[in-house]
Amino acid sequence: MKLRVLIVDDNYLFRKALRHILERDPELEVVAEAGDGLEALAKASKVLPDVVCMDIRMPGVNGIETTRRLVAARPTLKVIGLSAHAEVEYVLGMLEAGASGYVTKRVAGKELASAIRTVRRGETYICAELAKEVAAARRTETVQAPFSASPLDACEREILRLLSEKVDPKEIAEQYCMTPYLLEAYRRNIMRKLGLHSDAEFNEYLEG
């Protein structure tokens, strides 16, 4: 069975070129394309890809936040960061969001098919030009990933604020273009990061 791939990038011509490259591989099938984060979330829920190739800098919801939402909704989904940015902080941002790999656009034609097969096996893939730098940064933990915060990211902090203000979860889900299931996944992730082990503890935290 072929591996099902979703390509997410705001550059139409790049998406088509990448699709052409990947579809020459008999083990891969590009099942859909998306031009931004919200479109990616919608299409991923319909076509159920095995692997998503995700650009980072896109209008609206960026690739890191989109990755976070995709993996929260489907923990078995594999995401590969695919960007012109070769800075280590972008790689770490994607890995922190739940991605399993990162390939720069400069080498995508040579390495992406291999990266897709690697992450599908449950391994991490960082393109050769970044692998040593990323390994060093993860050992020293001196590089701050973009779009992230500790222990909660910006989206989680906002959801926590709204919940503490007694905003109806349905309204929160609509505001963030989420399904109720995804919002619940966010709530559980917030609890985990805050070290809260039950709904009672979480409600007490909100009241405090």
Q: Supply the mean pLDDT for the chain.
A: 85
- pLDDT per position as a tens digit, 124-157: 999 887 887 777 766 665 444 554 444 676 677 7
Q: Does 48 map to a domain?
A: yes
Per-residue DSSP letters for the chain? -PEEEEEE-S-HHHHHHHHHHHTTSTTEEEEEEESSHHHHHHHHHHH--SEEEE-SS-SSS-HHHHHHHHHHH-TT-EEEEEES---HHHHHHHHHHT-SEEEEGGGHHHHHHHHHHHHHTT--EE-HHHHHHHHHHHHHT-PPPTT--SSS-HHHHHHHHHHHTT--HHHHHHHTT--HHHHHHHHHHHHHHHT--SHHHHHHHHH-
The CATH number for 168's domain is: 1.10.10
Residues 131 and 159 in one domain: no
- pLDDT per position as a tens digit, 183-208: 888 888 888 877 788 888 888 888 76
pLDDT-derived band of residue 1, with 50, 70 and 90 as boundaries?
confident
**Average of pLDDT values for 85-101?**
84
Residues 26 and 60 in one domain: yes
Residues 98 and 187 in one domain: no
Q: For the chain, what is the domain count?
A: 2
Q: How many CB atoms lie within 10 A of CB 138?
A: 15
Range of the domain at 61: 3-140
The residue among 180 and 35 whose pLDDT is bigger is 35
pLDDT above 80: residue 37: yes
Cis peptide before 59 (omega within 30 of 0): no
Torsion of CA 125, 120, 96, 197, to 10 degrees: -150
Residues 41 and 12 in one domain: yes
**Average of pLDDT values for 173-187?**
80
Q: Does 25 map to a domain?
A: yes
Q: Minimum mean pLDDT among 7-11, 26-30, 87-91: which range? A: 87-91
Residue 59 token pair: 């209008």
- pLDDT per position as a tens digit, 155-169: 777 888 888 888 898
